[in-house]
Amino acid sequence: MLPDGWVVVLKRDCPTCTLVEPVLHQLAAAGELTVYSQDDPGFPAGLPVVDDRELETSWRLKVDTVPTLLRVEDGTEVARTVGWLRSSWEELTGVTGLGPDLPDHRPGCGSRSVEWGVEQELDRRYGERVLTSRTVELADLEDEHEAAYARGWTDGLPVVPPTEARVLAMLTGTSRAPDEVVAVVPPDLVPCTVEKIAVNAVLAGCLPEHLPVVLAAVEAACTDAFNVHGVLATTMPATPVVVVNGPIAKAVGMNSGMNALGQGNRANATIGRALQLVVRNVGGGRPGEVDRGTQGQPGKYTACFAEDEDGSPFDPLSVSRGVEGSALTLFAGCGWWPVVDQLSRTPESLARSLATGLRGVGHPKLAIVFDALLVLSPEHGRVFREAGWDRARLLAELDGLLTVPGAELSRGVDGIAEGMPPGFEAVPLPKFRPGGLLIAHAGGAAGLFSTIVPGWVSGAGGSEPTTVPIGA
Amino acid sequence: MPVLLDPTSERVPATRTLNPRPASLDGLTVGLLDISKARGDVLLDRLETRLVADGVTVRRYTKPTFAKPAPVDLRHEIAVQCEVVIEALAD
C-alpha cells in the first residue's frame, strides 16, 4: 500500500535525481513526501527515504525511468510524471516555484528495475508464476553443467543451464503465450508448448530474438509432410537443414555469407541446435534409441543458415515455394559435398558441372528416390546472373542433363548391383521428381565451388521439403 | 541454490534410479544416515562398529529433521562420497 501524498522513486546514480534534490526538500516542506531509493537509502540526506534496493516497489509500480513522481490518494496512484519537467511537477503537486535555479527540463535515467536480466529476475521473484515446467533443484556444490549431462539433456556439448530467469528472458522474444502448444513432437508425440521450446532454446544458447525462428522450425519439423520422426529414426544420416529467408535473417544476425554453412555464427549455430534439442528432450528422440543413424553426420548437432538474397541471381528459396516475407524451409539433408568448377564461364558449362555432382545424390544409378538442395556460391551464381538465367531456366537445364534412358540405370549395369528395379528400362528417367531439386544461394565472395546437400527419401513416403512463415 | 527448469516432456521422474545392490562391501564407502528419529543413532552406532570391524569405510550423516525430505545438498554430499547408504528409518 502506497503512502498518500507524493511519492518519488529515484537512484543516486542518476544525475537528474541529484539535480532535483532541492525540489524534494521543497516538497517535503509543503506536504507529505515519501522517497524510494533504488541504490542509496542515505540519499537525499534529511528526507524520509524508503530502502528499495531490492526493487520490489519499483517493480510493482512499473517504474521504467527515474526520477518518477506520483501523486497518491487513498493508497492509489492518481498521477505520474517522469524525469524533471518543472511544469509537470508543479501541475502534479500544485506547488509553484519548484527548483527556481534548475533548468526547465532534464530527461531521467533508466530505472534499475528494468535493466536487462534484472527485470526478468524481478518478474520471477514478485510476479505470478507463468512457467509450468518442473523445477529441478541442484545442490550448491553440484556443477550445473555436469548436472545437465547427468540428466541426459545435452547433445554432447555443454548447454546453458535453463534457469527461470533465463527462460523468462527467452520468452520476451515472442508474443506467443508460454502455454500455447506449438507442435506435437515425435517420436513420443508430446504436445510441446512455447515454454518448453524456450527452455530448450536457452539450453542451445539462443538469444530471445532467435526464438521465433526456433518456434517456426519446430512447427515445420513436426508436420506430417516433413516427418521429423522418419528423419530421426532412419539409419541414413538425415537431419533437418534449416534455410532462413526474409528480413528476420539479418535482424537476428544470421550468416548468409562467408562460411555460412560452417561454424562461428551464434544465430545459425543455436537455432539449428535448439530444434535438435527439442526433438531430443521433448520428443524423446535420442541416438541409439529411436535415432538409429548408422553413421550419423555433424549436421545432427545443428544445420542452419540464411540465404544470401541480396546477391542471389534468383528469387528467394521461400518465395519460389510460395511464402513471402520471413520464412524458413526445412530440408532433410544427408550431408554436404562441394562441386568444384573453377573454369566454367558459361551457364551451359557450369550447369553440366553441377549435374555431374547432382547425379551422385544417393547413388548415380538411383533416380527420383532422393531430393537435393543445391547451395550456389556467389561466384557460381554470378555466371547464371550475367547470362540472364533465372531459377526455372537452370532447373530446366539440369532436368535435361539429368534425364537418362532407364536401361542405363538398371540393376547390374556397369557391373554395379545397385540400380533401378525392373520395369523402368524403356522409359527416360529424371534424377529428381518435379520440385525435388531446391536451389539456395549463400557463401562468401570468393570461391568457385557450390555445395550439394543430398536428400533423404523424398515425398509422401519420406520427407517433403517444408516452407513456413516465421511469426512474431 | 541453483534451480533449473526441466527441458524434457516430464514423462519420467526427475530423480534418478537406484544403483544396483552391490554383491560385497569390499573397498566401498558406506554412508550411515540418521534421519533424527529417536534411537536411530543407537542402531547406526552398532552398524558402524560392525562395518568398521569388517574393514569398511563408514561416513555418518544426519538429516536436520525426520519430518522433511533430506536437503538437496545433503543428498548430493552422500552421493559423491559414498557408494552405499544405510538409512535408519524408524524408531
Write down the domain spans for chain B: 29-88
pLDDT in tens, B25-79: 999 999 999 998 888 999 999 999 999 999 999 999 999 888 888 888 999 999 9
Interchain pair B3, A284: CB under 8 A: no
Q: Which residues pair with A181 in a beta bridge?
A: A193
Please say whether the beta carbons of A1 and A54 come within 8 A.
no
Q: Which residue of A has its CA nearest to B17?
A: A151
- Provide the CA A239 distance to its chain's centre, in angstroms: 18
What is residue B14's predicted lDDT score, i.e. its pLDDT? Answer: 67
The band of B17, judged by pLDDT with boundaries at 50, 70 and 90, is: confident
Determine how β-strand B84-88 pairs with β-strand B29-34.
parallel
What are the grid coordinates assigned to A167, written together?
Answer: 527462460
Which of chain B's residues have a Cβ under 8 Å away from the Cβ of A147? 4
Which residues of chain A does B75 touch, with a Cβ-Cβ cutoff of 8 Å? 139
Interface test mutation site (partner B, options A131, A140, A146, max chain B beta carbons within 10 A):
A140
Query: Do A11 and A39 meet the contact criterion of CB atoms below 8 Å apart?
Result: yes
Rg (CA), chain B: 15
What is the mean pLDDT for each group of 10 consecutive residues in chain A (472 residues)?
93 96 96 96 92 96 96 95 96 95 96 90 85 93 94 97 94 94 95 98 98 98 95 95 98 98 98 98 95 96 98 97 98 97 98 98 96 98 98 98 97 97 96 97 97 94 96 89
Chain A residues whose beta carbon lies within 8 Å of the beta carbon of residue B80: 141
Task: Say how far apart CA A346 and CA A232 lie, in whole Å.
Answer: 40
CB contact under 8 A, B7 and A282: yes
Contact by Cβ (8 Å): A215, A278 = no
CB count within 10 Å of CB A89 equals 23
Q: Does B73 touch chain A (CB under 8 A)?
A: yes
Q: Which helix (H) or strand (E) holds A215?
A: helix A211-221
Find the chain A residues whose C-beta atoms sit closer than 8 A to any C-beta of B: 131, 133-142, 144, 147-148, 150-151, 153, 161-164, 167, 188, 190, 192, 196, 199-200, 203, 277, 281-284
| Amino acid sitting at position A464 | E
Distance from CA of A148 to the nearest CA of B (A): 9
User: Closest approach of chain A CAs to the CA of B63, in angstroms?
Assistant: 15
Best CA proximity match to A218, nearest among A171, A174, A184:
A184
- Look at B5 and A283 and tell me if their CB atoms are within 8 Å: no
Contact flag A140-B73 (C-beta cutoff 8 Å)? yes
Can the peptide bond before residue A187 be classed as cis, meaning omega within 30 degrees of 0?
Answer: yes
pLDDT of residue B15: 65
Separation in Å, CA of A117 to nearest CA in chain B: 16
DSSP secondary structure string, A319-346? HHTT--SSEEEEEEE---EEEE-SS--S
DSSP letter at A437 equals: E
Q: How far is the C-alpha of A75 from the C-alpha of A311, rounded, in Å? A: 61
Chain A residue numbers touching B4 (CB-CB < 8 A): 135-136, 138, 144, 147-148, 161-163
End-to-end Cα separation, chain B, in angstroms? 32
ipTM: 0.79
Judge: B8–A138 Cβ closer than 8 Å, yes or no. no
Nearest-angstrom CA–CA distance, A8 and B6: 41
**Angle made by CA atoms A462, A464, A465, in degrees to the nearest 5:** 140
Buried b (16+ CB within 10 A) or exposed e, A144-157: eeebbeebebbbee
Whether residues B5 and A134 touch (CB distance < 8 A) is answered with yes
Ordered by where they begin, the domains of chain A are 5-114 (3.40.30.10), 148-469 (no CATH)
- State the alpha helices, DSSP H only, in A328-390: 347-359, 378-386
User: B7 vs A147: CB contact, 8 Å cut-off?
Assistant: no
Q: Residue A36: which residues within 8 A CB-CB, separation 6 or more?
A: A7, A8, A9, A10, A49, A50, A52, A57, A58
| Displacement of CA A26 from its chain's centroid (Å) | 52
Q: Is B68 an interface residue toward A (CB < 8 Å)?
A: no
Predicted pLDDT at A461: 85
pLDDT at B65: 84
d(CA A206, CA A200): 9
Q: A-contacting residues of B 26-45, CB under 8 Å?
A: none
**CB of B72 within 8 Å of any CB in chain A?**
yes
Chain B partners within 8 Å of A283 (Cβ): 9
* Residues in chain B closer than 8 A to A142 (CB atoms): 2, 76
